[in-house]
A and B are shown apart, each in its own frame.
Chain A
Amino acid sequence: MFLRVVAAAALLFAPLYAQAPAKTEAPAEALPDARDLINRHVKAIGGREAVLAHKSMHAVGTLSVSRQGISGPIEMFGATGPDRVVVKTTVQGIGEILEGFDGSHAWSVSPMTGPMLKVGKELAQTRLDADFYSELRDPAKYKAVKTVEKTTFDGRPCYKVALSRIDGSEDFDFYDAATGLRAGSINTRESPMGAMTVTSTDTSYKKFGNLLQATSVTQQVMGVEQTITLTSVEFDNVDPAVFQPPAPIKALIK
């Protein structure tokens, strides 16, 4: 859930790049059904009931762009009823970068660009990305899901699944053929600078409460690589006030 949002949000000072080098193998077997792959991932992380049991989430970690020596804390909040999300990143020398969605409005506040309301396609995508139960890949949010091929992703045999979202976006998930866990994804999202394609690699799954969560997410965007490392994930202890838009955004909404 969070990491999909972060994929779109965190790269606020670097543009995008696409396509993990995936090696296609000759289809020696029938491809599994996409929905089965998704369900297998859900089962591997703890099961559908375990996912649905939670109503909010708070994660803390570090964002780093190691080649540039940039790093800083990242904090993410998510909730359902309605779906909401806030991501705070603090980078030394740059300051705090904030992204959020309160169920109606999506925004960003950055010392580089100032406060911004998301509109149009960017807003529609953020709305879908805020799905608190995104691990389930809710069929109501997709026009179609289809297993495209068996390939190699992050050095592992994976099944590539194409997901056509109801907002018109097309994402790709990669599911580890051995473990069933999602190994990564490719997402294209609108930004104020244009469409950006992010390739994410999910590793180091750890258990928090009754759910497995990838604690290391490496994202490639236009030749820039950044890594989000989660150190803690808590459930059902989030103050709803955290999703309130900050004052400059409230002034823009009026």
Chain B
Amino acid sequence: MAVLALLFGWGVAAAETFRAAETFDAVWTIVRESHFDPAFDRAQWDRARDELRPKAVGARTPGEFRAVVAELLGRLGLSHFAVIPGAPDGPSDSSDLGAQPGFDVRLIGRQLVVTRVDPDGPAAAAGVRAGWILDRVGAVQMSGLLGGIAESTPPRIAQLEAWKIAITRLRGPAHSALDATFTDGSGTAVTKHIERRFERGEPVTVGSLPTMFVRVSSSLVPTPHGAHAGVIGFNVWMTAVDREFQLAIDRFRRADGIVIDLRGNPGGLAAMIMGLSGHFFSEPATLGVMTTKGAQSLRFNANPRLVNAAGERVDAYGGPVAILVDGLTGSASECFTGGMQSLGRARVFGQTSMGQALPALFDRLPNGDVLIHAWGDFVTGTGVRIEGRGVVPDEPVDLTRDALLAGHDLPLERALAWIDGARASATKGGKF
């Protein structure tokens, strides 16, 4: 049997070689012991174990096994229960999605539309433009895959599903290439050969989590009425952001407004929301409350940042703050945005966020995968639960292909216009 296993490779690999029983039991036990909801149905969870464990142990490949675990976790109906693979699903699979072509897409209507192109990336070099429709990646028609998303799917969920469909085909190993076919601004089909490159940014690895690449951008932009707003964007909540964010705040301390761009920011270290929000408060303020198992509660309080990067005492930024979000804004980004919104300290523009805002832990599993598991619930300071709902913008701003083709960033433009109005209101003694 051992010889046959070697000859047939993955096909007959015993579940013991990827420790299926041990790993399944670990997943099931961790969730059972740490689930935060007092209404968690343990009897149902026990039945799920009885039903799915045999399938898990009988899996022939890591991919089959992970599908069973995904089914188990899916029964919880909550975000932040997922497994990050430690190895490929099968012999023909690659888990290397570390490189990307340099553009991002969002679902507009029933089409994937290019929303951002990295000006220094390979897609820009190939001539890809915002507003182009992504029709095919290789021979795979995007419309066929998007058809699997039901029309009745809530927009924020459809956005995430569509993005996942795209990203698993757009990303791949570094220096691999993809042929992407677009419909350009004139309605012409255009195929671009694009080499994938490593993600830009500072590589950061925390514990068992995959390495993330941290990017922070900041710029001073004019508002429609000639004022100036500092626009700060970052792609993930890792501590490498803190100093760059602090430097940006110091630079924009006299700006007429601040815009924080969290579009596409899926989250990260939740505790950071206390530090970054502190730049906008002179006194501690509760952004939200996390409740874990046994009804233990912890407050996420803004910690006033009254010292600049040079170690000098400063006042917190007191001007208007806008936050940009979209359907790929998640987790810590949602806790931050929802918290700032609930306190009336920021106005939110864009599209409703992911609605996946549960504080989570991560555990290395026996098979080398990492289990992400929610271990608390989160509500904003005004008691709004973001999980399953998302942060609803104060000013919803939908993306349109025409605006993208014309080079407009509608949510940003609306935020800048609001800053003009907020300044005018402040001049007359109003509040932000």
What residues of chain A have their CB less than 8 Å away from a CB belonging to chain B? Answer: 12-18, 65, 67-70, 91-95, 110-116, 192-194, 196, 222-224, 247-248, 250-252, 254
What residues of chain B have their CB less than 8 Å away from a CB belonging to chain A? Answer: 33-34, 204-209, 238-239, 242-243, 269, 271-272, 274-275, 278, 284, 290, 292-294, 296-301, 303, 305-307, 311-313, 361-364, 375-376
Interchain CA distance A116-B208 in the complex, whole Å: 29
User: 12 A-B contacts, Cβ less than 8 Å apart?
Assistant: A13-B269, A68-B208, A69-B364, A70-B207, A112-B272, A116-B303, A193-B299, A194-B297, A222-B293, A223-B34, A248-B307, A251-B313
Nearest A residue to B363 via CB reads A67
Contact A93 B238 (CB under 8 A): yes
Contact A223 B303 (CB under 8 A): no
Contact A110 B275 (CB under 8 A): yes
Interchain CA distance A116-B275 in the complex, whole Å: 10
Contact A112 B275 (CB under 8 A): yes
Interchain CA distance A93-B269 in the complex, whole Å: 11
Interfacial chain A residues near B239, Cβ < 8 Å: 93-95, 111-112
Q: By CB atoms of chain A within 10 A, which of B204, B207, B290, B305 has the most? A: B207
- With both chains docked as a complex, state the minimum distance between the C-beta of B307 and any C-beta of chain A, in angstroms: 4
Interfacial chain B residues near A224, Cβ < 8 Å: 361
Interchain CA distance A110-B313 in the complex, whole Å: 18
Return the contact of B303 from the options A65, A113, A222 (Cβ within 8 A).
A113
Contact A68 B364 (CB under 8 A): yes
Interfacial chain A residues near B364, Cβ < 8 Å: 67-69
- With both chains docked as a complex, state the minimum distance between the C-beta of A238 and any C-beta of chain B, in angstroms: 24
- With both chains docked as a complex, state the minimum distance between the C-beta of A14 and any C-beta of chain B, in angstroms: 8
Contact B363 A15 (CB under 8 A): no
Interfacial chain B residues near A252, Cβ < 8 Å: 306-307, 313
A93 in contact with B303 given A17-B296, A192-B274 (CB within 8 Å): no
Interchain CA distance A222-B375 in the complex, whole Å: 9
Interchain CA distance A92-B208 in the complex, whole Å: 11
Contact A194 B242 (CB under 8 A): no
Q: By CB atoms of chain B within 10 A, which of A13, A18, A68, A112 has the most? A: A112
Interchain CA distance A16-B298 in the complex, whole Å: 9
Contact A254 B313 (CB under 8 A): yes
Contact B274 A93 (CB under 8 A): no
Interfacial chain A residues near B361, Cβ < 8 Å: 14, 67-68, 223-224
List 8 other contacts, CB 8 Å, given A112-B239, A112-B275, A224-B361: A13-B269, A18-B296, A68-B363, A92-B206, A114-B305, A116-B303, A192-B274, A223-B33
Interfacial chain A residues near B294, Cβ < 8 Å: 17-18
Contact B242 A111 (CB under 8 A): yes
- With both chains docked as a complex, state the minimum distance between the C-beta of B275 and any C-beta of chain A, in angstroms: 4
Interchain CA distance A144-B207 in the complex, whole Å: 42
Interfacial chain B residues near A93, Cβ < 8 Å: 204-207, 209, 238-239
Interfacial chain B residues near A254, Cβ < 8 Å: 313
Q: By CB atoms of chain A within 10 A, which of B208, B298, B305, B362 has the most? A: B298
Nearest B residue to A221 via CB reads B296
- With both chains docked as a complex, state the minimum distance between the C-beta of B298 and any C-beta of chain A, in angstroms: 4
A92 in contact with B205 given A13-B271, A194-B298 (CB within 8 Å): yes
Contact B303 A193 (CB under 8 A): no
- With both chains docked as a complex, state the minimum distance between the C-beta of B354 and any C-beta of chain A, in angstroms: 22
Return the contact of A69 from the options B204, B207, B296 (Cβ within 8 A).
B207
Nearest B residue to A12 via CB reads B271
- With both chains docked as a complex, state the minimum distance between the C-beta of A198 and any C-beta of chain B, in angstroms: 12
Contact B311 A248 (CB under 8 A): yes
Contact A222 B292 (CB under 8 A): yes
Interchain CA distance A223-B34 in the complex, whole Å: 7
- With both chains docked as a complex, state the minimum distance between the C-beta of B301 and any C-beta of chain A, in angstroms: 6
Interfacial chain A residues near B205, Cβ < 8 Å: 92-93
A68 in contact with B296 given A15-B290, A251-B311 (CB within 8 Å): no
Contact B208 A69 (CB under 8 A): yes
Interchain CA distance A207-B40 in the complex, whole Å: 47
Interchain CA distance A116-B302 in the complex, whole Å: 11
Contact B269 A112 (CB under 8 A): yes
- With both chains docked as a complex, state the minimum distance between the C-beta of A191 and any C-beta of chain B, in angstroms: 8
- With both chains docked as a complex, state the minimum distance between the C-beta of A176 and any C-beta of chain B, in angstroms: 27
Interfacial chain A residues near B293, Cβ < 8 Å: 222-223
Return the contact of A114 from the options B238, B275, B298, B362 (Cβ within 8 A).
B275
Interchain CA distance A114-B243 in the complex, whole Å: 10
Interchain CA distance A224-B298 in the complex, whole Å: 14
- With both chains docked as a complex, state the minimum distance between the C-beta of A10 and any C-beta of chain B, in angstroms: 14
- With both chains docked as a complex, state the minimum distance between the C-beta of B202 and any C-beta of chain A, in angstroms: 11
